[in-house]
């Protein structure tokens, strides 16, 4: 019954998890709008990709809040779906990078750098808040991995901004887009594997 009834010993931990998830959800929603606008203005595939990632993470955190007090099967099933979304996002991002290579122009490096730095600060805060949950079930591990990947992606965006500024071409921006795509695919597969293992694990009937 520990998975669905939230007994007294686990209640403080569950409340802490809700507060943390609520905080990172708010941060990610704000940064989605900031980066979406900046990515469109700067014509940067890396910023647009990071904005979409913020939106995807917002959905992930909202779902994580919804299933937090539900059974392990619920949480693992939801984590598997989130892993599939991460994988699909990586495939989409790879395609968008290829399209931008054919028709895009060089992005504005100063905008990329400024917004990338702001996004990095936001994601470091989220990663710090979620760090304590990195060893939890697939659902909590998925949100930790999302935040960790975002911080890595922001560092890559800053590197791309420097590359665009120095070279005057869009290739550093496109390269970062492809790296972020590969990271999303790998993370999605990792989360799906853990969730599948949790779904296959025998559980007492009372746990449901």
pTM of the model as a whole? 0.66
pLDDT tens per residue across all 208 residues of the chain: 333 333 333 566 678 878 888 898 999 999 989 988 888 888 787 787 788 778 777 877 877 777 666 666 666 677 787 778 778 878 887 887 777 777 766 678 888 889 989 999 998 898 888 887 776 666 677 777 777 777 877 888 888 888 888 888 878 888 887 877 787 788 778 778 877 776 776 655 544 4
Please name the fold of domain 2-201. Alpha-lytic protease prodomain-like (1.20.1510)
**CA 158 – CA 117 distance, rounded (Å):** 7
């Amino acid at each position: 019954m520990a998975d669905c009834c939230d007994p007294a010993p686990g209640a403080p931990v569950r409340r802490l998890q809700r507060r943390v998830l609520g905080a990172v959800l708010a941060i990610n929603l704000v940064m989605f709008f900031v980066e979406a606008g900046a990515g469109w203005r700067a014509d940067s595939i890396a910023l647009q990709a990071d904005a979409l990632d913020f939106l995807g993470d917002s959905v992930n955190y909202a779902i994580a809040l919804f299933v937090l007090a539900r059974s392990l099967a619920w949480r693992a099933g939801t984590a598997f779906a989130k892993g599939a979304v991460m994988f699909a996002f990586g495939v989409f991002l790879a395609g968008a990078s290829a399209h931008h290579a054919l028709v895009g122009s060089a992005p504005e490096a100063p905008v990329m750098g400024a917004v990338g730095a702001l996004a990095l600060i936001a994601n470091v805060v989220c990663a710090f808040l979620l760090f304590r949950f990195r060893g939890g079930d697939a659902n909590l591990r998925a949100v930790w991995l999302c935040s960790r990947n975002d911080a890595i992606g922001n560092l890559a965006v800053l590197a791309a901004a420097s590359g665009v500024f120095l070279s005057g071409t869009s290739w550093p921006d496109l390269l970062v887009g492809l790296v972020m795509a590969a990271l999303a695919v790998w993370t999605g597969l990792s989360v799906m594997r853990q969730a599948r293992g949790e779904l296959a694990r025998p559980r007492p009937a009372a746990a449901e």
